[in-house]
Homo-oligomer: A and B are copies of this chain.
Amino acid sequence: MPDHPFQVDGARVLSDLNALRAIGTYKTGVHKPTFSEPHMRSLQWLARRLAEAGLAATIDGIGNVLGTSEKPGPKLLAGSHLESQNYAGWLDGPLGVVYALEAARVINPDASAAGAVEVASWCDEEGHFGSFLGSRSYVGAVTEADIDAARDRNSGQTMREALREVGLAGLARVTAERGRHIGYLEAHIEQGQTLESGGLAIGIVTSIVGIWQYRITFSGEQNHAGTTRMDVRKDAGLALARFCVAIDDRFPQLSGPRTVWTTGRITLDPGAPSIIPGHAEMLFQIRDADPEVIGRLEEELQSMAAEFSAQGRCNVTVERIRTGAPAMMDAGFQQAIEEASTAYAGGKSIRMPSSAGHDAQVLATIMPAGMMFVPSIGGISHHWTENTADADIVRGAEVFVDACRRLLAK
């Protein structure tokens, strides 16, 4: 039997998650882009729940929600995010926020438990306007000029305009009070199949892999799709297709066992059916925990670009637009999650890197940080069919709250 005196309310956790799913529902998932009406309604929902839990709640000038406690003793920061990818899943973000809320509800009122859990919902983890703007603002890494420059990647609306529209313009941005927290703990769905296929309940994150992102551009010659003979064409779209295929053919020999790469967006210019595209662009991403692997792959991209350009049809350039060093999770936090997992999940846990980016990697730059995963059914993520079994959600909440208790008791 676990050596703990308190009780996680699994029904309350599930009910809260479903309440958040009811705001901005899309099929069995949600559609809550950053600063959309359902996103803002979700933030207000959280602020009310925090107040009910006895925390002082604020929504700051970048859309972070922060619930602080006046209970004396050590303080642990916990949370995740509430906006979603477009037409995506209900747990990606809300799970970690509701676990943190539940931890505050269970631990803070208990005079026999040391310290308090403080709750955060970081704005725009999903990157509609940038890269971790909410948590990066909290650690002091976002300037006013960064906000001036940020735009919605789909609508093109500026972040300033969006902040004005939702009534956050002019509010102060809250930054971390150094030394206030013993660290940051975040829970998240795994978004992969490691736990499910191993019959495991809990992933103990050891590091968060870096994301390297590239803009690869192809310049050919725009011309008429009827009157330009095949042999004289300089079709930038076709060059792009050949480049994608070449990546897929060559990368496997150069990559590590966990390396992944993705072309997420392709644009042909001008994009009309009767015009040979003169210009084409792809957004390309590589993820790996080992910078040496990344270096090898980036070198290959550059030499492929040179090869393609040398063929004379189209000029290819590869520009790195995001450089992601891996973030290490704190060993003490890993230990606390493992102990909680032994107490509440029969020890069915595994230490593993996270291949997805999370706010924990940003918080890790200023305080010890940890992350735990619960299983994703079929590994599906960033799609409205994303799901986790109710039993896994409840068991995860128990492990999470117990890990918080152990960290605060240390």
Instruction: Show the binding face of A for B, using Cβ within 8 Å.
Output: 85-87, 127, 153, 190-193, 209, 211, 213, 221-230, 232, 235, 237-238, 240-242, 244-245, 248, 252, 258-268, 270-278, 283, 285, 287, 354-357, 379-383
Closest 7 CB pairs of A and B: A192-B227, A241-B244, A224-B381, A191-B227, A225-B262, A226-B355, A226-B356
Among B86, B225, B242, B252, contact of A260 (Cβ-Cβ < 8 Å):
B225
B222 lies within 8 A of A237 (CB): no
Q: B226 and A191: CB pair below 8 A? A: yes
30 contacts between A and B (CB under 8 A): A85-B270, A85-B275, A86-B270, A153-B272, A191-B226, A191-B228, A209-B226, A211-B274, A222-B382, A224-B355, A224-B381, A225-B260, A225-B287, A225-B382, A226-B354, A226-B355, A226-B357, A227-B354, A230-B261, A237-B266, A238-B263, A241-B248, A245-B245, A262-B274, A262-B275, A263-B268, A263-B277, A264-B272, A264-B274, A272-B382
State in angstroms the CA–CA spacing of A85 and B276 once bound together. Answer: 13
Contact partner, A274, options B127, B192, B223, B224, Cβ 8 Å: B127
- By the criterion CB–CB under 8 Å, are A266 and B263 in contact? no
| Distance A76 CA – B329 CA, assembled complex (angstroms) | 81
Given A274-B285, A382-B275: A237 and B226 interface contact (C-beta under 8 Å): no
- Decide: B225 and A285 in contact? CB cutoff 8 A: yes
Whether A228 touches B272, Cβ cut-off 8 Å, given contacts A222-B382, A242-B245, A379-B223, is: no
A329 → chain B closest CB, angstroms: 16
Query: Apart from A262-B273, A265-B273, what 9 extra A-B contacts exist at CB < 8 Å?
Result: A86-B270, A225-B287, A226-B355, A226-B356, A226-B357, A227-B355, A230-B259, A238-B263, A266-B268
C-alpha gap A273/B232 in the complex (Å): 33
A224/B273 in contact, CB under 8 A = no
Chain B neighbourhood of A213, CB < 8 A? 273
Q: Is the Cβ of A380 less than 8 Å from the Cβ of B223? A: yes
Q: How many angstroms from the CA of A221 to the CA of B384 in the assembled complex? A: 12
**Which residue on B lies nearest to A283, using beta carbons?**
B273
CB distance from A115 to the nearest CB of B (A): 33
Interface centre among A213, A259, A276, A382 (most CB of B within 10 A): A382
Kindly provide the distance from the CB of A133 to the nearest chain B CB, expressed in whole angstroms.
15
Contacts of A264 in B (CB 8 A): 225, 237, 268, 271-277
Residues of B within 8 A of A240 (CB): 241
| Given A232-B193, A273-B285, A224 and B278 contact (CB-CB distance below 8 Å) | no
A274 touches B382 (CB 8 A): yes
**Of A261, A271, A283, A354, which is in contact with the most chain B CB atoms at under 10 Å from its CB?**
A271
Please tell me if the beta carbons of B223 and A381 are within 8 angstroms of each other in the complex: yes
Q: Which B residue's beta carbon lies closest to that of A243? A: B241
Contact indicator B379/A226 (Cβ below 8 Å): no
